[in-house]
Structures are given as C-alpha cells and as structure tokens.
Amino acid sequence: MRIEVDFNVCVDHGQCAIAAPDIFRMDDEGHLVFNPNPDASLRADAESAADACPEQAITIFD
C-alpha cells in the first residue's frame, strides 16, 4: 500500500492523524508528516483517514 498527500491542498486540518495515528501525525509546528508506505494491515485506518480529510488530499494506491 502506498499513500500520497497532495500538499497543494492540505491545510493541516489534522483529521487524518486522528483517524489513522499509526500513519499520520502532526509535528511540533502543526504540520502533517506521514508514512507513505504503511503496512497493508493498516488499510482500513488509511481509508478512514482519506475519507476524513476535509480537503480530500489523501490518495491510497494498491
């Protein structure tokens, strides 16, 4: 599983970090950092994070 975030539209709402804390987190400055190649077992979490993103900035590739 591969994850991409479109940083042209991401504005650090941070909802992905709530939905999938093992993949996404906010750094000390409040900006998003994430693991682009998470384990396949985190698929459901990754989809929840993509769904929860207000800007729909997250894409999941198989």
Partner 1 sequence: MTKHVAVAGAGLGGLRAAEQLRAAGHDGPITVIGAEPHLPYNRPPLSKELLAHELLDGSGGEDGGTDPLAALHQRVAFRRRSSIADVTFRLGAAVTAADLPSGTLTLADGDTVRCDGLIAATGLRPRRLLNLPGPAGPGSGRHVLRTIDDLAGLRAELRAALRDAVPLEPSPAAAGRSPRPAAGPAATTIAGRPLPRVVVVGGGFVGCEVACTALSLGCEVTVVEPLGPPMLRVLGAELAAAVQASHERAGISFVIGQAVIAYTGQDRVTGVVIADGTDPGSARIPGGPASGGHAVAGAVLPADLVIEAIGSIPNTEWLAGNGLDLTDGVLCDNKLAAVTGAYAAVPVTAVGDVARFPNPLFDDVPRRVEHWSMPTDTARRAAATLHAQLSGAPLDPAPFRPLPSFWSDQGELRMWSFGSPGLADDVEITEGDLRELTGGLLATYRRGGQLVGSVALNLPPLRHRQLREALLK
Q: Give the binding site for partner 1 (CB under 8 A).
A: 12-15, 17-18, 26, 30, 51-52, 54-56, 59-60, 62
- 55 to 11, 21, 27, 37, 45: CA distances (angstroms): 8, 18, 19, 21, 18
Least distance (Å) between residue 37 CB and partner 1:
18
- Which residue, 35 or 60, has its beta carbon nearer to partner 1? 60
User: Distance between terminal CA atoms of the chain?
Assistant: 5
Least distance (Å) between residue 14 CB and partner 1:
2
